Amino acid sequence: MSATSKSNVTAPAESEGKTMYGLIAEYETPADLIKAAQQVRDAGFKWWDCCTPFPVHGLDKAMGIRTTILPVLVFFAGMTGTMVAFCLQTFTNATDFSLWAMVWVTGYPFLISGKPLMSLPAFIPVMFELTILFSALSTFSLMFGFNGLPRLYHPLFRSKRFRRVTDDRFFIVIEARDPRFFQGRTKAFLESLNPLSVEVVED
Amino acid sequence: MSHVNVTADLSERNVELGSTGSLASHACLVVGLICLAVAFLFPVLGIGDTTWGAFWRNWLQTWIFVLQIPLGAFFFVFVQHLTRAGWSVAVRRPAEVIASNLNWIWIGFLPIAALFFFGGSYYLFPWSDMSELAAHAPEEAHLVEGKTAYLNTPFFLIRAVIYFVVWAVLANYFLRTSLRQGHEHGDGPTRSMQKVAAPAAILFGLTTTFAAFDWIMSLSPAWFSTMFGVYFFCGCATCGFAALILTCIMLQRNGHMVKVITNEHYQDMGKLLFAFGMVFWAYIGFSQYMLIWYANIPEETGWFLARQMGDWGWFSAWLLFGHFCIPFLFLISKHPKRNWRTLAFAAMWMMFFGWFDVYWLVMPTIPHDLATFDTYDAAAEAYAHVGTGLLNPINWFLLAGMLGIITWITISRLRSHPLICKSDPWIDESLNFENM
């Protein structure tokens, strides 16, 4: 989702000091959810989401979610790992190369079974491992970061109805900070998408 | 089960080959036979000083490449039953048909087997004539002496018969049982295939490993590598998956399996090609190389030294880049896997390097005097003139010949069965399959 929000334009509906988080619409089957999600997408909402008990195939397309940039970042993180491992081993085996100007260390050449100090075959296992390590750690941390995790509390937890999302119900959530969100109009719009129910969720 | 319903056209016109490709398949047969005949002219007329020994080495190399195609497809088939995969049902029949080429593939081995009866096997398999080996290379003969309980002509031929029988019986079983799937038989055939898949995997692993030991590793009988069977398996996966991808694309280009095989299936087949043909191949190839490089034992390093001398050095570098580095970068993203043009290019590229890999395995010979040199550089200098013979037209005639014949049989067999496992219980899941 886009990080730049124009949500300030629309003042969140406030009542008795409580801020409105958004509206949820409940569906019974994934097929109903997908049909509704396509219409929410076409209506131009930006701050909205679908919540389901299990991954629903085709939902990404129905929601119009763009491809994630994560794989590209992971690729470069992996390449960084490869180069770090290569530089590390080259430097630690170097005799005539020292980082003296920057740090007070020089290489520690260590001859093993008559192999040349700079032998690529011996370097490759470490290069491979660091590629994997950097890729795995960057996948993990970037995925968490992009999703705003870890997050211990979410306004949707307030809704009793929403608890069935871990079992047999499918939900569309439109957040109040969406520039196209107007409580009455959006509620009427969601009700036109044949949900089982529409509910207001407060922050 | 998915919830997006793709309307798949399972009409007869779409999922039966009919007369499509009839002309092409017969053209393949004619071209294949002509090319094989021309290849035979080389040793018969002595063109380019081709000896029968060199010819049979070429023959063995090409035949092993062609053998890898049905073996890889067979691996694809049983692994789907082993894992109870749903996505692959739409592309399983072409794989079953390619795998059933294991029925007749032994014919290509007959001339090699005949060499053991009519003399001439020594040039390929030096262990088959120990007295001659002892005369030429006493030290090597001493090493091979200890292996004669395994490396002897009768046992070698018996093993070959076992491999061919196991492969033919299993490949046939999976094709026939898959054809019997349907309402009248209940889920019996499906369950039966799932049960057989486990022992089939074990038998496949053992037979391909020992076949690789017998037909490729024993060409240099003093050399040994326990990883060699896995390396050969990677070659099978490369060629088998590439052939399956190309078959599916050819079927679709000719107006069959339209909307039955989708980009989702191509992406998954591309993943398999990427994983087994490039990454796992490189992993195993490097593991084999590094252990030998590190231990630095003469009878082990000679095999790699022979592949670094003269033109073979460039050949090995090409193998590394062509089989791994370049296709790895090309196919790492999902987009080239989902586009039939780029995937077809990658599959053809991998097929070629599958052949290239077998050439690298089979064609170089380790000179008997290699151990007498003091240094690596001295040996490399003495054999700096060694050529690879890659551009020898005999390679291309044999390749076109054998590929033409396997293409002809595969197309004919595709014509006699439906192109899809229509009654498989997971057919709907496969037709509606989506990666994300």
Q: Where are the domains of chain A?
A: 19-67+153-202, 70-146
* CA distance to partner chain B, nearest, from residue A203 (Å): 32
- This model of the complex carries an ipTM of 0.78
Are the CB atoms for B92 and B414 separated by under 8 Å? no
Q: What percent of chain B has pLDDT over 70?
A: 98
Task: List, as one string, the DSSP characters of B40-79.
Answer: HHHHHHTGGG--HHHHHHHHHHHHHHHHHHHHHHHHHHHH
Q: Which residue of B has its CA nearest to A123?
A: B290
| Virtual torsion, Cα B211, B215, B219, B225, nearest 10 deg | -20
Query: Is B12 contained in some domain?
Result: no
Which chain A residues touch B436 with a CB distance below 8 Å? 57, 60
What's the rounded Cα separation, in Å, for the pair B8 and B14?
10
| Position B203, amino acid | L
Give the side-chain half-sphere CA count within 13 A for B287. 13
**A58 → closest Cβ in B293, B332, B434:** B434
Does the pLDDT value for residue B3 go beyond 60? no
d(CA B306, CA B383): 9
Q: Which residues of chain B lie closer than 8 angstroms to A57, CB-CB?
A: 2-4, 432, 434, 436
pLDDT at A12 over 60: no
Q: Please tell me the predicted confidence (pLDDT) of residue A44.
A: 86
- Residue A123 with chain B: CB contacts under 8 Å: none
**C-beta of residue B158 within 8 angstroms of C-beta of residue B165:** no
Note whether A64 contacts B: Cβ–Cβ < 8 A: no
Contact of B279 with B114, CB cutoff 8 Å: no
Separation in Å, CA of B1 to nearest CA in chain A: 9
Which residue, B61, B70, B60, is CA-closest to B237? B70
- Which residues in chain B are contacts of A113 at CB distance < 8 A? 294, 296
Q: Rounded to a whole number, what is the distance in angstroms from the first to the last CA of chain B?
A: 13
In the stretch 73-132 of chain A, residues with CB closer than 8 A to chain B read 75, 113-115, 121-122, 124-125
Nearest residue of chain A to residue B433 (CA atoms): A57
| B276: number of Cβ within 10 Å | 22
In a domain, B80, yes or no: yes
CA–CA dist B13, B6 (Å, integer) = 18
* Residue A25 DSSP SS3: strand
Count helices and strands (H / E) in chain B: 20, 0
Evaluate whether residue B32 is within a structural domain.
Answer: yes
CA angle B75, B261, B80 (to 5 degrees): 25
Looking at the 3D structure of chain B, how many domains does it have? 1
Strand partners, A15: A18
Choose from B1, B4, B331 for mutation: most chain A CBs within 10 A: B4
CA distance B398 to B61: 9
The answer to whether B333 contacts chain A (CB < 8 Å) is yes
Q: Give the DSSP H or E segment for B316.
A: helix B312-320
| Topology at the third CATH level for domain A19-67+153-202 | Alpha-Beta Plaits (3.30.70)
Q: Which domain holds residue B389?
A: 19-431
Contact B265, B328 (CB under 8 A): no
Please give the single-letter amino acid code of residue A162.
F
Contacts of B434 in chain A (CB under 8 A): 57-58
* C-alpha span between B281 and B287 (Å, rounded): 10
- In angstroms, the CA A136 to CA A155 distance is 31
Shortest distance, CA A187 to any CA of chain B (angstroms): 26
CB pair distance less than 8 Å for A58 and B3: yes
List, for residues B90-143, the tens digit of each pLDDT value: 999 999 999 999 999 999 999 999 999 988 889 999 999 999 999 988 888 998
The answer to whether residue B150 sits within a structural domain is yes
What pLDDT, in 10s, does the model give residues A31-41? 889 988 998 89
Chain A hits for B296, Cβ within 8 Å: 113-114
CB contact under 8 A, B294 and A113: yes
Cβ–Cβ under 8 Å, residues B242 and B350: yes
Nearest partner of B80 among B425, B434, B435, judged by Cα: B425
- pTM equals 0.88
Put simply, whether A32 touches B (Cβ < 8 Å) is no
Residues in CB range of B337: below 8 A, 6 or more apart: B266, B267, B270, B271, B274, B331, B343
> Cα separation of A195 and B12, whole Å?
41
What's the token pair of residue A194? 């044949």
CB contact under 8 A, B294 and A122: yes
Contact B330, B273 (CB under 8 A): no
Residue type, A131: T
pLDDT above 50 for B420: yes
Sequential DSSP letters for B102-146? GGTGGGGGHHHHHHHHHS--TTT-GGG-HHHHHHH-HHHHHHHHT
**pLDDT reported for residue A102:** 67
pLDDT higher than 60, residue A52: yes
The pLDDT assigned to B405 comes to 95
Chain A residues closer than 8 Å to B286 by CB: 121, 124
Q: Judge whether B57 and B363 are in contact, CB under 8 Å.
A: yes
Decide if B3 is inside a domain: no
Give chain B positions within 8 Å (CB) of A58.
2-4, 434
Q: Mean per-residue pLDDT for A73-92?
A: 92
Residue A97 has pLDDT above 80, yes or no: no
